[in-house]
Structure 1
Amino acid sequence: MSETSPALDVRAFNRFYTRRIGVLAPKLSDSDFTLPEARVLWELAHHAPVSAAALSKSLQLDAGYMSRLLRGLKARGLLASQAHPSDGRQTLLKLSAAGRRAFAPLDRQGTANAEAMLAPLSVPQRDAMLDAMSRIQSLLEPDAATAVDLRPPLPGDLGWIVERHGAVYAAEYGLDQRFEALVARICADFVDRFQPGREACWIAARGPQRLGSVMLVQARDEASGEPRPGIAKLRLLLLEPHARGLGVGKRLVRQCSDFARTAGYERIELWTQSALTAARALYAAEGYRLVHSAAGHGFGQDVINETWVLTL
Structure 2
Amino acid sequence: MLVQVYLDDIIFGSTDQKMVAEFLDVMQKRFKISSLGAINFFLGLQVDQTEKGIFLHQSKYVADILSRFKMEDERIAKNPLSVNHGITPENTGPKVNPTLYRAIIGSLMYLTASRPDIMFATYLCARYQAQPNVNHMLAAKKIMRYLKGTPSLGLWYPRKDGFNLMAFSDSDYGGCKRDFKSTSGGCQFLGSRLISWQYKKQTSVAQSTCEAKYIAAASYMSGTPVSSVPTVRAIGSGSGQTRAEKKTKPRRVTKSQSKKAAEHNNELQVGPNDCKLE
Question: What TM-score do the two structures reach when normalised by structure 1?
Answer: 0.23
> Which is richer in helix?
1
Higher RCO (C-alpha under 8 Å, 6+ residues apart): 2
Question: What TM-score do the two structures reach when normalised by structure 2?
Answer: 0.25
Q: Which has the larger radius of gyration?
A: 2
